[in-house]
Amino acid sequence: MDIQESFGFHLNLSARLIKRRLDSYMKEYDVTIPQWTVLKLLSVEDNLMQVEIANKIVSDIATVGSVIDRLVQKGYVQKLRTKKDRRAFCVSITEKGNKISNTIEEKALICNETALSDFSQKEIRELFDYLNRVSCNLMQETK
């Protein structure tokens, strides 16, 4: 099979190009894509436990823990002990974190608009459906 005919090649190329564009936008804010992913999640669903964040963004708990620690150092999130289990904590976004998340979201929307500029709304919905099916197929396989 020719590499140009590989679904994985095209998907990986697109992901790398989007990541490169987002990285260039985010560099001035000293935030990585994984950090912004956590910030964005918390801006929508605040006060989550580390394991909940990991599950929602499909990452491992240790990686999410490192990301949270860096966000705490930057003042973008805070960790609060839970009343049920004094060893556990909930993570919540700060006002500073919300501001940076919103600013970066504007840049991410520009990136998405550029990537999808030649697509109709119907094609965009179909693309999302197809990519969701690919993700579901691969997640099913790992169970």
pLDDT digits (tens, 9 = 90+) for 32-57: 999 999 999 999 999 999 999 999 99
For residue 143, pLDDT over 60 is answered with no
Helix (H, G, I), strand (E, B) or coil at 94: coil
Average pLDDT over residues 5-28: 91
For residue 95, pLDDT over 70 is answered with yes
Sequence-ordered list of residues with C-beta below 8 angstroms from that of 42, at least 6 positions apart, any chain: 48, 53, 77, 91, 92, 93, 97, 101
